[in-house]
Amino acid sequence: MAARVLVGVKRVIDYAVKIRVKPDNTGVVTDGVKHSMNPFCEIAVEEAVRLKEKKLVKEVVAVSCGPQQVQETIRTALAMGADRGIHVEVSGKDYDTLGPLQVSKILAALAKKEEASLVILGKQGTFASEVTIDGDKIKVIREIDGGLETIKINMPAVVTADLRLNTPRYATLPNIMKAKKKKIASVKPGELGVDLTSRLEVLRVEEPAQRQAGVKVETVEDLVGKLKEAGRI
């Protein structure tokens, strides 16, 4: 049986919140804004917990990088069924510039340290719509242009979750209470040998262009007239 699954969970602005750009255009307003677990990370956690319930893996470890508040997100993962959590402490300037490169180095170092056979993450790149474990290999069905592809991969492996992989369970109150007993360990990126310096610099953040209001026309002649006006024909 595969030993350990590592699941990355990211604390993001809640999907239902309207995002606002800061007046100085350096970023997005996050203070006082409702945050929750990235919906794709929820799907990843659900998949990991299901693998454990099917007795295909022994332990599910939830990992998140960021300041103190990400512990709430880790707690949600614990309430969904993860066994323990790891909080990689990153705050202030480091957190603002934390990008995929740094996070992937952190996750790689952790996967090695924890001897994880499988790392499941929320959506980026290619996505799995079904995951099963067959002996010491993982069978993944993924969606590609034109259909489905089934692949068998060796462990350790990294799998990312598609929207259709599963329906995540809701973290109910009793489970949230039980999760309080589960451990969350804190770790600094330095301890993992990861350098957080970013090679990217954010110059400016802007809202997307407002959608232009549409114009209604009464007849086909009007339509042709308007198109000619706009220089389209």
Partner 1 sequence: MASALRTEVLRLYKTLLFLGREYPKGADYFRDRLRAAFIKNRDVSDPEEIRQLISRGEYVVKELEALYYLRKYRAMKQRYYENE
**Using CA atoms, how far apart are residues 120 and 88, in angstroms rounded to an integer?**
17
Choose between 93 and 164: whose C-beta lies nearer to partner 1: 164
Record the tokens describing residue 74, joined without a space. 């880790």
Choose between 122 and 189: whose C-beta lies nearer to partner 1: 122
| Burial of 184 per CB tally in 10 Å (0-12, 13-18, 19+) | middle
- One-letter amino acid at 229 equals E
Please tell me whether residue 30 binds partner 1 under the rule CB under 8 A: no
130 Cα distance to chain centroid = 17
Please tell me whether residue 170 binds partner 1 under the rule CB under 8 A: yes
Nearest approach, Cβ of 10 to partner 1 (angstroms)? Answer: 14
**Using CA atoms, how far apart are residues 15 and 11, in angstroms rounded to an integer?**
11
Nearest approach, Cβ of 198 to partner 1 (angstroms)? Answer: 25
Choose between 170 and 227: whose C-beta lies nearer to partner 1: 170
Please tell me whether residue 39 binds partner 1 under the rule CB under 8 A: yes
Q: Please identify which residue in 168, 179, 194, 196 interacts with partner 1, judged by CB under 8 A.
A: 168
- The footprint of partner 1 on this chain (CB under 8 A) covers a number of residues equal to 11
- One-letter amino acid at 205 equals V
Across-strand partners of 89? 66
Residues at the site binding partner 1, with contacts judged by CB under 8 A: 15-16, 39-40, 123, 163, 167-168, 170, 172-173
